[in-house]
Amino acid sequence: MLAFTLASCNLFDGRRGDERVAKVNNQYLYRSDLTELVAPGTTSADSAVIVKRYIDNWIRQQVYLQEAQNNLSKDLLNFDRKMEDYRNSLVIFTYENELIAQNLDTLITDEIMEEYYDKHQDEFKLRDNIVQLNFVKLPVDAPEINRVRRLIRSQETEDLEELEEYCLNHAAGYFLDQESWFIFTDILREVPLNPSNHENFLRNNSFVELNDQFYRYFLYIRDYKLEGSPSPLTFQADNIRAIILNHRKQELVNEFRQRVYRDAVQNNAFEIY
């Protein structure tokens, strides 16, 4: 009779034959709930710590959960509608992501980006001062410094190629890209320079040579744009590409939703009573 009673208790709580590990009121934690907690090869001491922590956390959660359940009205505890709405939203979201992955046109040409930029220039105002520059960082004992001073200020492709070859052999760091823009404050982090007024500095300096105990720094500022002015297209390229893709995604989803609805209307798939 005792064995039958114990078996019946486990049967009623849905875990017949599973050993109980902890209990909070009428809720039980079972040994099978702990089986995947400990990775193979974990020492017995570490395993005991992991299991004990899990049991303690489970008890705390159950105590707090039951306190909440006991003090909330039945209306507030009715989550059926919310769960259904959440599931429906999740199903639609997952389906639309698959639809986008299979049908979205991700090709964005330079012409498309330029057209979007021209129509929305007012939306792209600079939040920082930006610069185009040549930058070279050399050890203080690097050779042919006068050569670097001459080449870094040149606009000729051959001179910049010569400078790059020199930098490959001697520089601790350099940047000679002729198209990219950089936030000026990011550049200042790389050199021992801290002008009190960035705008005045940019207006009045194109070539700067600095040094500290270990390095010489050469900056030739080819162009700059100040905070609040229209942002160059190349500086906003990633943002514009993301905006265009997002618009395409929304248009694709909207068109598909309208098509599904039209098909439902034509097929008399629904009725309003």
**Res 4: pLDDT:** 34
Q: Where are the alpha helices (DSSP H) in 72-197?
A: 74-77, 80-103, 110-119, 145-151, 157-170, 184-188
Confidence check: pLDDT of 17 > 90: no
Confidence check: pLDDT of 6 > 70: no
What phi, psi does 26 have (nearest 5°)? -105, 15
**Res 42: pLDDT:** 86
Confidence check: pLDDT of 221 > 50: yes
Query: 0.75 exceeded by the pTM?
Result: no
What is the CB neighbour count within 10 angstroms for residue 236?
21
Q: What is the mean pLDDT of residues 241-255?
A: 96
Please check whether residue 137 is in contact with residue 209, taking contact to mean a CB–CB distance below 8 angstroms.
no
140 φ/ψ sector (left φ>0, alpha ψ -120 to 50, else beta): alpha
Q: What is the mean pLDDT of residues 77-86?
A: 89
Q: Encode pLDDT of 19-71 as tens digits.
A: 898 999 889 999 888 888 888 888 989 888 999 999 999 999 999 999 998 99
Identify the DSSP state of 125: B
What is the CB neighbour count within 10 angstroms for residue 165?
11
Q: Encode pLDDT of 188-218 as tens digits.
A: 999 999 999 999 999 999 999 999 999 999 9
198 or 1: which leads in pLDDT: 198
Mean pLDDT over each residue of the chain, to the nearest integer: 90
**Res 11: pLDDT:** 41
